[in-house]
Amino acid sequence: MADIVQPRPVLPPASGALTVRLRRLGEVTVQTLRNPVTVIGLVIIVLMFAMALLAPALTTPNEPNPYQMPRDWTALNEPPGTPGHPLGTTAHGGDVLYGVIWGSRTSLWLSIIVVAATVTIGTIVGSLAGFIGGKIDEILMRVVDVFLAIPELIFALAIAAVLGPSFSNIILALAIVYWVKYARIIRGQIIHVKQNEYVDSARVIGDTKFRIYLKDVLPNSITPVMVQATMDMGAIVLVGATLSFIGLSEAGLAEWGVLVSEGQVGISTGRWWASTFPGLMIFLWALAFNLVGDGLRDVLDPRTESR
Amino acid sequence: MTSLRAQSLEHEESVGDRPVMTLLDVEKHFPIKDGVLQKVVGHVKAVDGVSLEIRRGETLGLVGESGCGKTTLGRCISGITAPTGGGIYFRLSDADRAALEDILAVPGKERTPEQRKRMEQIDSRHLITALTGDAWRAYRRNCQVVFQDAFSSLNPRQLVKDIVGRPLRIHKEASGAELTERVVSLLESVGMGRQHLFRYPHQFSGGQRQRISIARALALDPEFIVLDEPTSALDVSVQAQILNLLHELQRDRGLTYLFISHDLGVVRLMSDRIAVMYLGQVVEQGTATELFERPRHPYTEALLAANPDLDADVDKEIEGLEGTVPDPANPPEGCRFHTRCPVATPICGWEVDDAVTWLSVETNLLDTMTAVERRSNFDATLAFADDGSAEAVGKAMTGGSMPSAMSPALENVSVDGGKVLLRFLPVEPVELEEVEPGHVTSCVLHTSRRREL
Amino acid sequence: MTSTAAAGISAEGATGALVASVQNLSIHFKTKAGMVHAVDDVSFDIRDGETLGLVGETGCGKSVTARSFMRLVASPPGVYAGGKIDFWSSEARAAGGGPVNLLTIADDEMLEIRGNRIAMIFQDPGKALNPALTIGNQLAEVFYQHRSDELLEPLGPNAPVIIRRAAKQESGKIERVLLKLPPLRSKAAKVREEVDDHVAAALAETQIPNPRKIMDRYPHELSGGMKQRVLIAQALACNPDLLIADEPTTALDVTIQAKILKLIGELQQRRRTSVLYISHDLSLVREISDRVAVMYAGRIAEIGRTDDVFRQPLHPYTRSLMAAVPSSRNKRGELAAIEGNVPELIDPEPSCRFHTRCPYAAGVCGEVDPRFLRHDFEHGVACHIYDEPAELGIRPDELPSYERKTR
């Protein structure tokens, strides 16, 4: 209803640019936290991050490579509750709790590196296509179309299989495949934002195209990318776990997917703990980022943002 | 502040009273692409041959309805898009203009090397699409824009201080505390203040946002500002404030304005001279008083008649126009307004399309038409499913029911089996002609071509 | 001077029966900052066959008022805060019956009225037409909804039930399959033909060239003016008693606007429809209204016959507004601008809402809501100058005389 005079926010006298920007950030944060579901997600994420950071303190790091599950032939397939192994042990005698904790580290690595890489590649490609347009747009979008013709999971699987089973190859495979959606998202946003007159204004003032991109176009296009990136932090771990489950990762790695894979052998004989606890972690991680992503999207929606 | 302008004058030939902007035959055509291979099948002729002059210190009003090309023309003049034909010149002296027009009258291949050199020289100093270095900077600083929608013309993520200070920063005119002070003084000159520096655009009303826009436009102390419907989105009371402000600024700073608007009342108030546009061309131009009191083009008259005026005579009723604006990709022949003109004459450019339109609207004789074979816009063959239909059409066209302006233009109609051949008298496009000092129009009723009637 | 509600003003000495009467209507909106009093104690009448112009700037509440007639105000955040809208349909008037209160009648009664007895056209014709339906199908809906009986007439009194239901668009899935079978198909086709005839007639009335061809087109193929004609045809299809037009020509060029306005005027005259015309454009309202109500900040500032209001505006806001419209007599830079801004309407204190910007404001203006008074025959105003001139130190006849030519 354009007819109603919307009450304008009552402001204390503004003092400086930094103060105002911080205040704005504060407002966004407060609004995000208003949603209880989002808070739950955030709490889970904070706990996971803490777990990942404090892994060396919470457990005794395995020698020589703490990311490898420790093997203890004396404690094979112990059920949860066994002294020294609250969550039980795996078929190789590895402490499930150790796997859960160090798995959060590997998951953190995985999601951060892949999301950073895909966002960067996707933003660059999408920006070139959207901002420059013309032939470059057509060529790049054809490339995107080719990528999209292949189902993401299969594609990643194929690349990882070709490169050979290893954790870093999984990271690489995911980075190669999953940037495409970002390119599309940001291209669409840029094309839309470009139509605003403040972009024309900047040109009339005499600003260079690159600076216009940085100051006017990118900041106003990036929001959906941020929301998607948050969701992907969760989703990537799921996909990575899938690839690990199939066996494209390293055996014995302290990674949730690998643990689920190695532990599922025991389920038929009643040894549920080696798969279930890491599986639960994957679920929680993905869920948490989804919740936060959703909450973030609601807050950053342009309709609510301008108020 | 005048020192900046003096600097940019260094590169000019002579200082004197000259036009700020000169437009010669400017065209802006947008390609229409179709098909898988995106072939160009036609062009939307948004601006199709406009020649204008904007003189120092004046306000030229540019008025017309949607689709007339005024906004596109504004964008070409301010350098946002480049014209696809013709030229836009900045600070072109009368002498240079005369020389240029002589050279342009000669077809490209036949120009002497001397002429070519002279043209290059003029272009490099004045043609806005060819400027580089200091000359370009001089143009860029001296030509600014204020848009209609203040909300989309201010970056929502930037503070007012950054928005208004940006031109100064880009051209390295000030920084730090000095920049802030300059921004404050700009804000004050548009009726705002220091307290507004650290706010975001969405925290202001429409009128205030427009003021911020104006402050930004003034930052580099420009000579010329393009105002593209600056008050159309504002309430009447706010509009009054902004219009008063614009006048005050013009008076205090010696500004030149191009005032684009569809609102006749506003344009009349704010302009010294006015150009009326229709379908990509200027149809009439003159002083504000002249145009409103003694219009010399039926379209201008139609605009005036349709405009509800608070001060109009008691008995005046508003009148509208029939029909719709023709397709800019295929503008009418002769005078483009003839398809809707209440006083059209036989020499106004009647063509095959007009006959077809008339038949399809007033009759249903075209229901059985199968094809139209054009030899030109004036000459075509209509094919029908049966001989009877063709005959009926032939009868209709010669029977006297055709509009009285159209039938004299019909040179020949003949029926041949299932085909109707029709041919109109070909007509040249109309040209603007000065009918009184400073008053030009392209309507044949007022120009020398009325002798042909 | 008598103190009567604005409704009383128009009822006295009026010509024509009442079609609608808004009485003390208040609609508020719940926002984070508080209750916004978008419409506050608004009263006016609409009589048979007249055009009432409701004019005001952004945020004055005119659109909300109009939408309340059809219960189109979203609630939440809209909150009904008082008053009523009485409506007399032509049947009710013929039978000598009483009005219904549009705000309180049952939903199914409202459905009967909407599109049928009261119709509305909006500002942006592009957004009001379903892009996926042809014009013919779009308009057919109105007839199916409200005039299904007429559609069944050619089939005689014994039309099968299944066809009856089809005409009301109440067919179930099975029925729709059955309708495709030969015995019923021809009957259904007859109904369809009837509808098409009605639609073509409705379109022809709005001077759309070649209505049959237009019926097969989609909205995007039509110009803005044509779309608005289609919408007018749709609105008038059922011969409503009241047409509410919410800025219908703002999105159109001025030459097309003139045609549309004339069309509305003609149709109105022919059918004796009453029109409530909402606009922010004073000059436009003057052209087409018999009476005009000026709204400011949720309240009616002034109401009266168009001639009277424009020749002798009483309320300082009306005067300021008229002075702010550019005219041939203004000098550049000297437009009478109204300083200040529209006040925030959150939980407002009792006062005249215009007092912060009024050149004549005095103490009482900031403390007491002005009463609506009848200043002259049919001309009413809510301003302390006319109520307690002594307090303000200025008498009504001392206000600078206002010159604008009128009818």
Q: Could you tell me if C295 lies within 8 Å of chain A, comparing CB atoms?
A: no
For residue A174, is pLDDT > 70?
Answer: yes
- The pLDDT of residue C11: 39
Tell me which of C352 and B7 has the higher pLDDT: C352
pLDDT category of residue C401 using cuts at 50, 70 and 90: low
What are the chain C neighbours of B357 within 8 Å (beta carbons)? Answer: none
pLDDT, residue A15, reads 61
Alpha-carbon span B324 to B328, nearest angstrom: 12
Q: Which of A300, A275, A282 is nearest to A233 (CA)?
A: A282
Which residues of B are less than 8 Å from A16 in CB distance? 198
Q: Which of A13, A204, A215 sits opposite B78 (nearest CB)?
A: A204
pLDDT of B42 above 50? yes
The answer to pTM > 0.95 is no
What is d(CA C318, CA C335) in angstroms, rounded to the nearest whole number?
15
Asked if pLDDT for residue C295 goes beyond 90, the answer is yes
| C-alpha distance from residue A241 to each of A249, A289, B419, C155 (Å) | 9, 16, 74, 69
Q: Is C225 on the interface with B (CB under 8 A)?
A: yes
C208 contacts chain B (CB < 8 A): no
Q: Which residues of C fall within a CB distance of 8 Å from B248?
A: 333
Question: What pLDDT is attached to residue A181?
Answer: 92
What local confidence, expressed as pLDDT, does residue C14 receive?
A: 47
Does the pLDDT at position C4 exceed 90?
Answer: no
> Which pLDDT score is estimated for C219?
92
pLDDT for B307 beyond 60: yes
Average pLDDT, chain B: 89
> CB of A6 within 8 Å of any CB in chain C?
yes
Asked if residue A70 lies in contact with residue A98, where contact means CB atoms within 8 angstroms, the answer is yes
Of B80, B157, B171, the CB nearest to A204: B80
Of residues C248, C35, C216, the one with CA closest to residue C127: C248
Token pair belonging to A79: 């059920």
Examine the pLDDT at A16 and tell me if it is beyond 80: no
Contact (CB<8Å) A215/B137 = no
Q: Which residue has the tokens 């052998």?
A: A265
How many other C-beta atoms can be found within 10 angstroms of the C-beta atom of residue A30? 10
Whether the per-residue pLDDT at C406 is higher than 60: the answer is: no
The predicted-structure confidence for B217-234, as pLDDT tens digits, reads as follows 999 999 999 999 999 888
**What residues of A are in contact with residue C29 (Cβ under 8 Å)?**
4
**Mean pLDDT score, B297-306:** 94
Q: Residues C157-166, buried b or exposed e (16+ Cβ, 10 A)?
A: eebeebbbeb
pLDDT at A118 over 80: yes
C181: which DSSP letter? S
Contact between chains at A306 and B202 (C-beta distance less than 8 A): yes
How far is C-alpha C221 from the chain's CA centre?
28
Chain B contact present for A198, CB below 8 A: yes
Is the predicted pLDDT of residue B6 greater than 70, yes or no? no
For A48, the token pair is 């996971």
Query: Given a cut of 50, is residue B356 above it in pLDDT?
Result: yes
Residue B17 binned pLDDT confidence (cut-offs 50, 70, 90) = low
Give the helix/strand (H/E) hosting C191. Answer: helix C182-205
Q: What region, left, alpha or beta, does residue C298 occupy, with left being phi > 0 and alpha being psi -120 to 50 degrees?
A: left
Q: B158 — contact with chain A (CB < 8 Å)?
A: yes
DSSP string, B387-439: HHHHHHHHHHHHTT-S-TTTGGGEEEEEEETTEEEEEEPP-PPP--EEEETTE
DSSP code for B294 = S
Read off the pLDDT of each residue in B63-73 and give the average, rounded to a whole number.
Answer: 92
Q: Does the structure show a pLDDT above 80 at B318?
A: yes
Interface test with A, best of B183, B186, B198 (most A CBs within 10 A): B198
Q: What's residue A5's pLDDT?
A: 46
pLDDT in tens, A237-291: 888 888 888 888 887 788 888 888 888 888 888 888 888 899 999 999 999 999 9
Average pLDDT over residues A285-303: 83
Which strands form C242-246's sheet, in the order they lie side by side? C118-121, C242-246, C274-279, C51-55, C291-296, C299-305, C379-381, C373-376
Confidence of residue A31 (pLDDT cuts 50, 70, 90): confident
Q: Which residues of B105-135 are buried (b: 16+ CB within 10 A; e: fewer)?
A: eeeeeebeeebeebbeebbebbbbeebeeeb
Give pLDDT, residue A306. Answer: 38
* pLDDT over 70, % of chain B: 96
Q: Return the minimum-mean-pLDDT range out of B6-15, C359-368, C384-393.
A: B6-15
Q: How far apart are CA C195 and CA C169, in angstroms?
A: 13
Contacts of C31 in chain A (CB under 8 A): 6-7
Q: Higher confidence at residue C158 or residue C277?
A: C277
Q: Is the pLDDT of residue C125 over 70?
A: yes
A306–B154 C-beta distance less than 8 A: no
Q: Which of B205, B310, B321, B324 to mutate to test the interface with C (most CBs of C within 10 A)?
A: B310
pLDDT at B147: 93
Question: Which of A2, A4, A10 lies at the smallest CB-CB distance from C36?
Answer: A4
**pLDDT average, residue stretch B313-326:** 82
Q: What is the mean pLDDT of residues B23-32?
A: 94
What is B301-314 written as a DSSP string?
HHHHHHS--TTS-T
pLDDT at C188: 80
Query: What's the pLDDT score for residue B8?
Result: 47
Q: Identify the weakest region by mean pLDDT among B289-303, C118-132, C175-189, C242-256.
A: C175-189
Please give the average per-residue pLDDT across A116-127, as a whole number: 95
| pLDDT in the model for residue B314 | 64
Which pLDDT value is given to residue A146?
92
Percent of chain A at pLDDT > 90 equals: 40
The two three-digit tokens of residue B169, written as one number: 């920063």
Q: What is the pLDDT of residue A273?
A: 86
Residue B400's pLDDT is what? 82
Across the interface, whether the CB atoms of B66 and C280 are under 8 A apart is answered no
Quote ipTM for the complex: 0.85
Predicted local distance difference test score (pLDDT) of residue C15: 59
What pLDDT score does B7 carry?
A: 47
- How far apart CA B76 and CA B129 sit, in angstroms, is 10
The mean pLDDT value for B274-295 works out to: 95
Specify the pLDDT at position C23.
93
Percent of chain C with pLDDT over 90: 34
Is the predicted pLDDT of residue B413 greater than 50, yes or no?
Answer: yes
Residue range C301-318: average pLDDT? 91
Query: Which has more pLDDT, A29 or B73?
Result: B73
Residue C9: pLDDT above 50? Answer: no
Banded pLDDT at B13 (limits 50, 70, 90): very low
Model pLDDT for residues C190-219, shown as the tens digit of each residue: 888 888 999 999 999 888 888 888 899 999
